[in-house]
């Protein structure tokens, strides 16, 4: 294969290579000991060395070198594992290049020509491999060449796909091609001699919509902050809309929120993204959401088949999905029949005999002695082989884990932490500490069932006097009874269960019958009949088990034995921000339930939340997690509740519990669109649906637990574990539809919120022994109405909507972050808000350009990826520039046109070093804005002070060449200032010194109010560099000659001042005349210094200089020019850098 040319300093180091063929410019070599049998010791040693090396270090046995006559350096340009492969490359070089090289006289031209050809061949191979993955390789190859030709973007900007379409300008369509790459969408049209082309970065896309009407029957609207673009006449609009949405979503998640959102490993490497990868990723996201699988699961096979469903006595057609650890089956109609088989429970996957009745069947045998039959599998051989291989790997891993667990000394009993103190503690405190660290082995509902079930009824039946006088006890099963104060609202009572017991018993019997028909455990068939049972409310005795089954938290529990106990051991007793927030919210979690006004429940809740924060520090602890964990602890054992919380936070509600709750806000945006589609009258009454969203956010975060009566809310949680987030969307729509008449009559937002709150407070259970209130809404009826009215809402549609609405949410966060940053910085600068906003956009674009095409090892890219640095606020570290990025913006925004070339580059380096005060090689927007504000809006003394500091350490480093001086200025002393004739030498010096002293006194008086640290003195060589900078700034100015003469005069004046001050200071320090052993001129030069005040006063003597330095720069014009040049300039520079690597 062809290789990027790499230098080889020694052509035949250690005689490891043997030359097989050669000519004037190329060598074909074979590795000694490879390719031919040889009995020589050296060949055997080299062959043995290559054999024992790992695969990454092994050397290919054949290679081709480029050698230039008279040059000691050669370049490897091709290599191969077989002689036939490398001979093909050799023949191509001989027939296509060898004769052309003889015309070159310069050896550098020869090497550059050959290396350019080889790189072109490599690029062609890359295009070929990419094109081969497409449905029409030749057509894609042609489109790739046009994309590179038209838009001149770096080669790393990978084209994903393209579409023929029309872009509308008003009522005129322009037919052309839409190119979709990993970072941009680009359109090109050439019609009737007129060329139209533009590039839109995905990072600027704020909204994607499908529109129709007018001349456009169906189109895609792409909105940015500046304008809208409409594209229509696609051959496959659905596909194009999906790909555009996916690419925009991926780019924004990668660029705007590298910390907050999870991104698949494949998508984190943009170079691997293809159209096929996007299709596979969309299908994977759907499967993970449908079956609520872990986010780390990879999708392997997708096969159409039919599964034997015993309850229906027939085969149900559908699709089989296989992942790393699961077999998943879904019927063709989503939700009709689902089957989830964890591979750790699978014993074998075998082929059965095929027949006309049962074509291509396989049998999946489970450890529970159940078997499942799948038929009509097209690629049965490959599927069985792949599954068998994964099963063996999983079984080997499990056996290793069990062996390690058996050897560990940790017991399976409850975990205790004992505290030893020098002084004896009170008995109650000791009991509290033991209770705090004891893992419960039962659900809390078993201890507090009586009080929690009947508390509301008791409080209503008892008179106020009885409630105040009584004092009772809550008896906890399995724990010591605790006395409660008379003020406690919960008391022990003796009740007749009656109707409630009968209702629970009926439900339990229905579920037992269901288990016989559909199976029990994770591999239970999930059908419409099971859905109806869940809608009735799961019986309390089975609720914990079924939550574990429906969420598949059982698999996590089985795979991680003793994991929770070890987390408790590691996390308890440690203090962090998360633990402080947990302690604050412990007593706010279901405060009306007796379990959480008791140390037993509080301690269990503390352990679960603290253990999860320790397991997932990226999430740590977020509000509303305490409410969810409380509900889970009531119906599941403590360890099971922990794994249920893991399932909810990491699988069922992805991206909900992070720093900015992005997932919840995305679902709120989706919910608003569903309201507009399903409830148009309500949407018309509330043009701004943010009012309803502010209420519904808690519905999604707490699964209605915080807004409904507890026993009604747990029925909603039942549906959530069966349907996933789809249940919350459906129930939310049902609530709004039921209350829509009252909401439409509401006069303001506050009234609407009261309507919703009142309705949800009166959602109750039907299984009550007493007559329900007239305004009570049975929760089962509300759930059934939601399923009936909005049952057509599918997981697939929700996932598609999430993809497009995530773009809007991320961009809204970006706008908020921008506004907050500008608000912080605007108080420190003099620029207007619009100008500062434009500078922010340039700053952000520069950051993104390097993320698009730059070296990923650069400091800014590493900083954006890690987000681990402390001590810097989120807004300040959001976008930061490294040295090359700053130098690029420096060249675009520097106020003086003459400041270019080599010295301008040097000055940009010094400026970056000066602004990088924390020495992390990164600049914040605040630093950048303050620098520009000084140059364009600062006073004259501030500008000169900035220039002065650029020529002192640390900005001026010792590595710079300070020997060069400004042309036309002599550094030899003595130097004289031209004065009027007729004055004697003494009068000249006297008048000059008096004038200078007066100017310095005025400056001191003017600066007395300032408390700034005095600037260091400037040495002579540093001052010469300062003058050189001034001269470079004047280059190209209309008054260049006058300015040059003025700076020459000022330079001579300052040198004279420094000389006079130095000669006058030295004798006084000696207390007499200059002795004979006075230091030589070189030593005197090293002690020559001037102050900022002296330089500033000298500059003020030349009005031409003052006018130039005070001349206001037009920053708006520079910004407009920078917007036009920034993209292509940086793209060309980065392309050049990549070619020279």
Separation of alpha carbons 843 and 835, rounded Å: 12
Per-residue pLDDT, 959: 58
Separation of alpha carbons 182 and 447, rounded Å: 57
| Res. 636: pLDDT tops 90 | yes
Give the ranges where 256-335 is alpha helix by DSSP (H).
275-291
Confidence class of residue 396 from pLDDT cuts 50, 70 and 90? confident
Which residue(s) pair with 211 in the sheet?
A: 219
Per-residue pLDDT, 997: 63
Separation of alpha carbons 531 and 722, rounded Å: 7
List pLDDT tens digits, range 973-992: 333 334 334 434 444 444 55
Per-residue pLDDT, 978: 40
Per-residue pLDDT, 640: 94
Distances (CA, A) of 383 to 320, 359, 884: 10, 15, 51
The size of the chain, in residues, is 1141
| Res. 646: pLDDT tops 50 | yes
| Res. 324: pLDDT tops 60 | yes
Separation of alpha carbons 970 and 101, rounded Å: 51
CA angle at 227 for the pair 223 and 231, rounded to the nearest 5°: 55
Separation of alpha carbons 478 and 490, rounded Å: 19
| Res. 499: pLDDT tops 60 | no
Average pLDDT of the residues in 213-232: 86
Torsion of the alpha carbons at 835, 840, 841 and 844, rounded to the nearest 10: 170
**Dihedral class, residue 896 (left if φ above 0, else alpha if ψ from -120 to 50, else beta):** beta
Average pLDDT of the residues in 89-112: 81
Average pLDDT of the residues in 658-679: 91
| Res. 581: pLDDT tops 80 | yes
| Res. 1072: pLDDT tops 70 | no
Per-residue pLDDT, 687: 84
Confidence class of residue 965 from pLDDT cuts 50, 70 and 90? very low
Helix (H), strand (E), coil (C) string for 465-517: HHHHHCCCEECCCCCCCEECCCCCCCCCCCCCCHHHHHHHHHHHHHHHHHHHH
Average pLDDT of the residues in 284-307: 92
Hey, is 234 helix, strand or coil?
Answer: coil
The residue ranking higher by pLDDT, 458 or 1, is 1
List pLDDT tens digits, range 112-167: 888 878 877 776 666 555 555 555 677 888 899 899 889 988 888 899 999 999 99
| pLDDT above 90 coverage of the chain, percent | 38
Per-residue pLDDT, 401: 58
Average pLDDT of the residues in 577-604: 87
Peptide bond into 298 cis (omega under 30): no
Question: Residue 328 in contact with residue 321, Cβ under 8 Å?
Answer: yes
Confidence class of residue 898 from pLDDT cuts 50, 70 and 90? low
Which range is least confidently modeled, 583-597, 695-709, 1001-1015? 1001-1015
Beta strands (DSSP E) in 873-1032 are 1018-1019
| Res. 175: pLDDT tops 70 | yes
List pLDDT tens digits, range 706-715: 999 998 999 9
Average pLDDT of the residues in 178-187: 94
Helices (H) and strands (E) in the chain, counts: 43, 26
The residue ranking higher by pLDDT, 462 or 418, is 462
Average pLDDT of the residues in 1038-1048: 88
Per-residue pLDDT, 155: 80
Which residue is listed with tokens 């050809």?
117
Separation of alpha carbons 739 and 749, rounded Å: 14
| Res. 480: pLDDT tops 50 | no
Burial of 1070 by CB count in 10 Å (0-12 exposed, 13-18 middle, 19+ buried)? exposed
Report long-range pairs for 484-490 (Cβ below 8 Å, ≥24 apart). Answer: 488/597, 489/455, 489/459, 489/592, 490/451, 490/455, 490/594, 490/597
| Res. 548: pLDDT tops 90 | yes
Confidence class of residue 312 from pLDDT cuts 50, 70 and 90? confident
| Res. 498: pLDDT tops 50 | no
The residue ranking higher by pLDDT, 971 or 301, is 301
| Res. 920: pLDDT tops 80 | yes
Question: Residue 300 in contact with residue 340, Cβ under 8 Å?
Answer: no
| pLDDT above 70 coverage of the chain, percent | 75
Neighbours of 332 (CB within 10 A): 12
Which residue(s) pair with 186 in the sheet?
A: 179, 199
Per-residue pLDDT, 233: 85
Per-residue pLDDT, 471: 34
Confidence class of residue 571 from pLDDT cuts 50, 70 and 90? confident
| Res. 902: pLDDT tops 70 | no
Helix (H), strand (E), coil (C) string for 591-619: CCCHHHHCHHHHHHHHHHHHHHHHHCCCC
Per-residue pLDDT, 764: 85
| Res. 61: pLDDT tops 60 | yes
| Res. 354: pLDDT tops 50 | yes
Per-residue pLDDT, 1001: 65
Question: Which residues, at least 6 apart from 664, have a Cβ–Cβ distance to it below 8 Å?
Answer: 653, 656, 697, 700, 701
Structure-token pair, residue 946: 């900035």
CA 613 to centroid of chain Cα atoms? 20
Confidence class of residue 327 from pLDDT cuts 50, 70 and 90? very high
Peptide bond into 140 cis (omega under 30): no
| Res. 638: pLDDT tops 90 | yes
**Dihedrals φ, ψ of 573, to 5°?**
95, -10
Which residue(s) pair with 750 in the sheet?
A: none
Separation of alpha carbons 208 and 228, rounded Å: 10
Exposure b/e, 906-943, CB count within 10 A at least 16 = b = bbbbbbbbbbbeeeebbbbbbbbbebbbbbbbbeebeb
Per-residue pLDDT, 493: 30
Separation of alpha carbons 821 and 831, rounded Å: 14
- The conformation of residue 954, written as its DSSP 8-state character, comes to T
Separation of alpha carbons 844 and 897, rounded Å: 24
Distances (CA, A) of 441 to 406, 433, 543, 600, 636: 21, 18, 16, 12, 9
Hey, is 841 helix, strand or coil?
Answer: helix
Per-residue pLDDT, 51: 42
Question: Residue 764 in contact with residue 779, Cβ under 8 Å?
Answer: yes
Separation of alpha carbons 340 and 526, rounded Å: 9
Per-residue pLDDT, 600: 87
Which residue(s) pair with 610 in the sheet?
A: none
Distances (CA, A) of 1069 to 30, 1073, 1084: 78, 10, 14
Question: Residue 709 in contact with residue 761, Cβ under 8 Å?
Answer: yes
Torsion of the alpha carbons at 1056, 1058, 1059 and 1064, rounded to the nearest 10: 120
List pLDDT tens digits, range 868-896: 444 444 555 568 888 888 988 998 898 87
Which residue(s) pair with 764 in the sheet?
A: 778
Average pLDDT of the residues in 783-795: 93
Question: Which residues, at least 6 apart from 396, have a Cβ–Cβ distance to it below 8 Å?
Answer: none
Hey, is 366 helix, strand or coil?
Answer: strand
Torsion of the alpha carbons at 797, 798, 804 and 806, rounded to the nearest 10: -170
Per-residue pLDDT, 476: 37
Per-residue pLDDT, 214: 65
| Res. 780: pLDDT tops 70 | yes
Per-residue pLDDT, 868: 42
Per-residue pLDDT, 766: 66
């Amino acid at each position: 294969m062809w290789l990027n040319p790499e230098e080889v300093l020694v052509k035949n180091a250690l005689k490891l290579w043997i030359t097989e063929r050669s000519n004037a410019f190329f060598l074909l070599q074979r590795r000694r000991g490879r390719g031919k049998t040889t009995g020589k010791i050296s060949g055997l040693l080299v062959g043995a060395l290559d054999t024992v090396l790992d695969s990454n270090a092994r050397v290919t046995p054949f290679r081709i070198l480029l050698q230039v006559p008279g040059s000691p350096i050669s370049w490897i340009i091709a290599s191969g594992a077989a002689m036939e492969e490398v001979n093909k490359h050799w023949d191509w070089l001989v027939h296509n290049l060898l004769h052309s090289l003889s015309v070159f006289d310069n050896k550098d031209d020869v090497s550059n020509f050959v290396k350019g050809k080889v790189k072109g061949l490599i690029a062609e191979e890359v295009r070929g491999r990419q094109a081969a993955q497409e449905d029409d390789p030749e057509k894609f190859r042609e489109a790739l060449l046009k994309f590179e030709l038209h838009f001149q973007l770096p080669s790393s900007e990978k084209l994903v796909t393209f579409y023929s379409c029309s872009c509308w300008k008003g009522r005129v369509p322009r037919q052309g091609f839409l190119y979709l790459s990993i970072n941009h969408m680009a359109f090109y049209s050439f019609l009737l001699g007129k060329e139209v082309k533009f590039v839109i970065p995905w990072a600027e896309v704020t909204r994607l919509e499908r529109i129709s009407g007018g001349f456009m029957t169906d189109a895609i609207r792409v909105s940015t902050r500046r304008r809208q673009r409409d594209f229509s006449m696609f051959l496959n609009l659905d596909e194009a809309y999906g790909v555009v949405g996916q690419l925009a979503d991926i780019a924004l998640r990668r660029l705007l929120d590298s910390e907050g959102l999870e991104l698949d490993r494949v998508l984190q490497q943009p170079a691997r993204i293809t159209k096929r990868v996007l299709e596979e990723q969309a299908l994977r996201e759907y499967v993970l959401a449908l079956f609520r699988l872990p986010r780390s699961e990879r999708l392997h096979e997708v096969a159409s088949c039919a599964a034997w469903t015993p309850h229906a006595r027939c085969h149900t057609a559908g699709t089989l999905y296989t992942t790393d650890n699961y077999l998943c089956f879904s019927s063709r109609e989503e939700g009709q029949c689902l089957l989830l088989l964890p591979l750790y429970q699978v014993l074998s996957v075998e082929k059965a005999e095929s027949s006309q009745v049962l074509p291509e069947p396989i049998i999946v045998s489970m450890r529970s002695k159940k078997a499942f039959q799948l038929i009509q599998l097209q690629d049965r051989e490959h599927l069985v082989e792949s599954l068998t291989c994964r099963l063996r790997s999983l079984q080997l891993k499990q056996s290793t884990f069990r062996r390690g667990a058996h050897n560990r000394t940790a017991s399976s009993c409850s975990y205790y932490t004992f505290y030893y103190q020098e002084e004896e503690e009170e008995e109650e405190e000791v009991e509290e500490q033991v209770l705090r660290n004891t893992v419960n082995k039962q659900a809390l509902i078993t201890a507090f069932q009586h009080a929690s079930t009947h508390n509301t009824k008791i409080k209503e039946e008892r008179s106020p006097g009885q409630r105040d006088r009584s004092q009772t006890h809550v008896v906890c099963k399995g724990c010591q009874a605790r006395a409660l104060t008379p003020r406690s609202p919960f008391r022990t009572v003796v009740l007749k269960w009656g109707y409630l017991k009968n209702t629970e018993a009926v439900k339990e019997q229905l579920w037992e019958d269901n288990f016989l028909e559909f199976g029990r455990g994770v591999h239970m068939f999930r059908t419409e009949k099971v859905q109806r049972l869940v809608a009735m409310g799961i019986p309390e005795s089975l609720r914990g088990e079924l939550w574990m089954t429906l969420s598949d938290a059982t698999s996590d529990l089985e795979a991680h034995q003793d994991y929770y106990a070890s987390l408790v051991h590691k996390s308890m007793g440690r203090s962090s921000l998360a633990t402080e927030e947990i302690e604050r919210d412990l007593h706010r979690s279901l405060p009306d339930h007796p379990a959480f006004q008791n140390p037993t429940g509080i301690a269990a809740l503390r352990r679960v939340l603290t253990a999860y924060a320790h397991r997932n520090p990226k999430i740590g602890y977020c509000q509303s997690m305490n409410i969810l964990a409380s509900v889970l602890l009531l119906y599941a054992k403590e360890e099971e509740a922990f794994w249920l919380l893991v399932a909810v936070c990491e699988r069922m509600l992805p991206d909900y519990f992070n720093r900015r709750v992005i997932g919840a806000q995305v679902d709120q945006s989706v919910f608003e669109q569903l309201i507009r589609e399903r409830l148009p009258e309500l949407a018309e009454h509330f043009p701004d649906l943010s009012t309803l969203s502010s209420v519904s956010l808690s519905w999604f975060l707490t699964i209605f637990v915080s807004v409904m009566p507890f026993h009604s809310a747990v029925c909603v949680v039942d549906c959530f574990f069966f349907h996933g987030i789809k249940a919350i969307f459906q129930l939310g729509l049902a609530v709004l539809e039921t209350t829509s008449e009252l909401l439409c009559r509401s006069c303001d937002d506050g009234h609407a919120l009261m309507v919703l709150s009142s309705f949800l407070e009166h959602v109750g259970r039907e299984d009550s022994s007493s007559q329900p209130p007239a305004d009570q809404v049975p929760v089962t009826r509300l759930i059934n109405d939601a399923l009936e009215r909005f049952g057509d809402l599918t997981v697939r549609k929700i996932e598609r909507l999430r993809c497009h609405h995530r773009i809007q949410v991320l961009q809204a966060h970006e706008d908020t972050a921008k506004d907050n940053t500008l608000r912080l910085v605007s108080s420190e600068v003099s620029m207007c808000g619009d100008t500062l906003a434009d500078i922010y956009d340039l700053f952000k674009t520069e950051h993104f350009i390097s993320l698009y095409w730059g070296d990923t090892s650069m400091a800014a890219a590493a900083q954006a990826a890690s987000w681990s640095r402390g001590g810097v606020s989120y807004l300040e570290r959001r976008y930061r520039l490294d040295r090359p990025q700053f130098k690029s913006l420096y060249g675009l925004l520097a106020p003086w046109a003459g400041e270019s070339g080599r010295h301008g580059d040097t000055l940009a380096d010094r400026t970056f070093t000066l602004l990088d005060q924390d020495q992390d090689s990164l600049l914040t927007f605040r630093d950048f804005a303050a620098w520009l504000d000084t140059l364009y809006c600062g006073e004259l003394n501030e500008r000169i002070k900035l220039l002065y500091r650029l020529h002192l350490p640390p900005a001026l480093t010792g590595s710079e060449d300070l020997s060069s001086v400004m042309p036309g200025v002599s550094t030899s002393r003595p130097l004289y200032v031209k004065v009027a004739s007729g004055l004697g030498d003494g009068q000249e010096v006297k008048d000059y010194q008096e004038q200078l002293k007066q100017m310095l006194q005025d400056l001191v008086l003017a600066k007395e109010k300032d408390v700034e640290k005095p600037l260091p003195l400037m040495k002579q060589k540093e001052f010469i560099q300062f003058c050189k900078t001034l001269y470079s700034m004047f280059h190209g100015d209309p008054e260049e000659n006058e300015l040059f003469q003025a700076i020459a005069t000022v330079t001579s004046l300052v040198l004279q001042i420094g000389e006079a001050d130095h000669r006058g200071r030295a004798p006084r320090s000696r207390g007499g005349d200059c002795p004979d052993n006075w230091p030589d001129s070189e030593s005197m030069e090293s002690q020559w210094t001037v102050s900022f005040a002296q330089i500033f006063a000298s500059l003020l003597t030349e009005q031409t200089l003052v006018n130039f330095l005070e001349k206001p720069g037009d920053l708006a014009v520079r910004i407009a020019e920078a917007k036009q040049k920034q993209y292509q300039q940086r793209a060309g520079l980065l392309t050049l850098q990549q070619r020279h690597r």
